[in-house]
Structure 1
């Protein structure tokens, strides 16, 4: 199989009998599997999750490039950097005793600040989501054209679900940051994100994506359970 063909979204692996039929490409299938493995390993507090995460966001960046979702492509760049930082933060000593980061809860003050900033960011992004994503798309195309892509400047359509899209985007960024610092609340946010995603993708008729996020919901719920128990053991000095 030609390598470029493997990375094409038109190279179908299987057609899933959902709705009118969903043709899942090889790159989407591989990227999804690495994404599921990343989340599962993170729930088990395995640092290797970041390797799977780096592969996942790289493959999805290629997908978003091909389907011209340049705003989401830029978001993958953030997740790529966050995975690199998370790998570093989880393995470097967190104190003079050489201990690594421990699973813990946000302090009350940090929780309130995180909630306030998240609410403000969601409100602002909901209001300005179309120009923000259009700017991200134009920035992506400009950068890609510097490397000879010769892409036409995009003219994105208005967002179908501005509030829910803004909520998923902001909470995904916040959850990823909290995960790199091993805060339990990251899993609570992933549960919320996955519930919203299931509804949005189902409303758009993308049932395969809804099914994928249903699986992610169960993994995130299990991650919440495991990290709550780990945080309790850490507080008790066990």
Structure 2
């Protein structure tokens, strides 16, 4: 297909032989739209994100898809597959909640036990995946690629569950992702990671405020049940 061939070959070139792949730019723009939808708790955030994941999968498997940038970031590529699978779960979960007459998701704080498990999973998963990614030829430092993969997995799952803390996991991913992507030559993705870092902090406070409002509403309802005269004032 001519348009598909154009999409794979199109690039924006600038000095010293540097360039940006348009599918990398488009994939990150879809990811940004998905993040915006997630912050507003919109179901469409999931399918839009999947489109971006498919584009970025072809970017980070540079040698497999004949990319002008012959660098494989296996953690980055693998997390696109993980994103797609987890997004299908999140899409189903939010859609069902909406069809049952409520909002797509109600932000909630994870328990302290869940937070501890998230930290353990992040560290242990990075340690276990690092030698695997290294053996498969991922770009160094390989631990950073493994960190990004595990953080992305946990953050996406946390978003599907509605945990407010998932935004902070994205911050941890962005802090490691920016220098790795710059060193690998993926400038568009590195720039988006810088932007995502600020955006995810904003998303955290937006969901925190939504959780605070819900807690206030629950307290008001419980108070009204205990003192029926309040509801008549």
Whether the TM-score (by the shorter chain) exceeds 0.5 is: yes
TM-score w.r.t. the length of structure 2 is 0.78
* Correspondence 1:56 to 2:52: yes
Q: Are the counterparts in 2 of residues 16 and 208 from structure 1 also a CA contact under 8 Å?
A: no
> SS in structure 2 opposite 1:24?
strand
Whose relative contact order is higher, 1 or 2, with alpha carbons under 8 Å and at least 6 apart?
A: 1
- Identify the residue that residue 19 of structure 2 maps to in structure 1: 23
Q: CA 1:207–1:29 in structure 2 vs 1: closer, same or farther (change >3 Å)?
A: closer
In 2, the alpha carbon distance for the partners of 1:41 and 1:16 equals 32
Instruction: State which of 57, 66, 90 in structure 1 corresponds to 2:94.
Output: 90
Structure in which a larger fraction of residues adopt helix: 2
Deviation of 1:57 (Å): 0.8
* Correspondence 1:11 to 2:10: yes
Q: CA 1:15–1:159 in structure 2 vs 1: closer, same or farther (change >3 Å)?
A: closer
The alignment yields a C-alpha RMSD, in angstroms, of 2.6
- Identify the residue that residue 80 of structure 1 maps to in structure 2: 84
In 2, the alpha carbon distance for the partners of 1:204 and 1:63 equals 12
In 1, the alpha carbon distance for the partners of 2:128 and 2:24 equals 31
Q: Are the counterparts in 1 of residues 35 and 45 from structure 2 also a CA contact under 8 Å?
A: yes
Q: CA 1:201–1:29 in structure 2 vs 1: closer, same or farther (change >3 Å)?
A: closer
Return 5+ residue gaps in structure 2 as ranges: 65-71, 219-233
* Correspondence 1:226 to 2:206: yes
- Identify the residue that residue 128 of structure 2 maps to in structure 1: 124
| Larger of the two Rg values belongs to structure | 2
TM-score w.r.t. the length of structure 1 is 0.77
Q: Are the counterparts in 1 of residues 33 and 48 from structure 2 also a CA contact under 8 Å?
A: yes
